[in-house]
A and B are shown apart, each in its own frame.
Chain A
């Protein structure tokens, strides 16, 4: 597994995608923007480009010829997705903190960069992962439909959450009202988000292994 991960880092994934969070994260500095987009750029840009690369470079044959199990191939691939996702979120969080300092008295229409908001981002990526990873491993090379459906679901979640944040007084309170200053509430949303992210990704990983076993290279 470790060797395959090294392969992803050295061959599979262009270094650009490891630096991209620095650029997309900087979008957090736009005051009062729709910050879900910052994380969604990972789904819009990194995922299809990365998987297009695997397809054109015949990564599937390469990995299959190495002395590794199919399970390890999936594990390394899921690991690299999670690493990149965490990189995007962590760097965005840092920019978010700067953003909060820059504009202390801003009235947010959309969610501001609070801990609770990052919890929602984790849930959004959880939804993305469970759809994308499981659909992709039906063939292990066709990424178009999987990306489309997974992005659509992630956008629906983000849009729905923003809508509730504006229309629903409870959600508004939680993120923009009194709840915004309550560290316990914010932290518990974040932790639940991380938990959902972990559970969904692990489920996706297990389904992917089952499907990949049936794939003919």
Chain B
């Protein structure tokens, strides 16, 4: 599942709450059917998580770090670990600081997969990667989820990542979840309208937000609010457009 939102929307806070790293004012977290606060230790055995890249103990060798980390997990499997290191081309004698950003993410993936995590929670794994490394990482994600055993929840503000590989999308804006649905359904919920400025008044009240120019207006509308009999060109928006028009809506009211 992809988790999108603008910077500061609350993606990382949500993920930190899931992992019980921040105190919640209200609500409950359930993972794999279990309550997080009651089964924290047990669940953390089954979750692999990574924040952006590994930024702790960066001067230590990978070998040293792994030897410390693997002790914490009862289900650690060295064979799987070495398989992934080989696959990702990670050299054990290197220090964390010497890995590229992409490799750091892959190293956390290798760690998570080696203790048999059923759920990987990744905060902005693709941020800061070049297009090639990003595409490569997304392919890896797809290989991991292919068997249906492992799920990945990852947050990002790069919408094209989600278009490439997410099955479900949750969109968060200003701490509120706007929509959470299957990708196709999510996109299908909205229509992007292109019309002449004179037509704007017909639909203005139903639009989420709009931009005007001398050529006309463009605006985002809920599919259910859209009247197809009107002579306005409607197209299916991409995720980026949905994000942009949603944040514009906010500005309108301020």
Contacts and interface: CB of A to CB of B under 8 A. Distances in A.
B71 A69 contact: no
Interface string A39-50: 000000000000
A216 B23 contact: yes
B21 interface: yes
B17 to A, nearest CB: 10
Contact of A217 (B22, B57, B65, B72): B22
B68 interface: yes
B22 A216 contact: yes
A205 to B, nearest CB: 20
A60 to B, nearest CB: 9
Contact of B21 (A3, A57, A64): A64
Contacts of A65: 19, 44, 49
B68 A217 contact: no
A142 interface: no
A16 interface: no
Interface string A1-38: 00100110011000000000000000000000000000
B247 interface: no
Nearest to B44: A67
Given A11-B57, A11-B68, A58-B56, A67 B21 contact: no
A89 to B, nearest CB: 28
A6 B22 CA distance: 26
A46 B21 CA distance: 28
Contacts of B41: 67-69
A50 B242 CA distance: 48
Interface string B10-53: 00000010010111000000000000000011101100010100
A2 to B, nearest CB: 8
B65 A11 contact: yes
Contact of A57 (B19, B57, B67, B71): B57
B67 A10 contact: yes
B244 interface: no
B21 A6 contact: no
Nearest to A217: B21
B168 to A, nearest CB: 24
B189 interface: no
B55 interface: yes
Contacts of A216: 16, 21-23
B71 A62 contact: no
A201 to B, nearest CB: 25
Contact of A6 (B19, B60, B71): B71
B160 interface: no
Interface of A: 3, 6-7, 10-11, 57-59, 61-62, 64-69, 214, 216-217
10 contacts: A3-B72, A6-B71, A58-B57, A61-B56, A65-B49, A67-B45, A68-B44, A69-B40, A216-B16, A216-B22
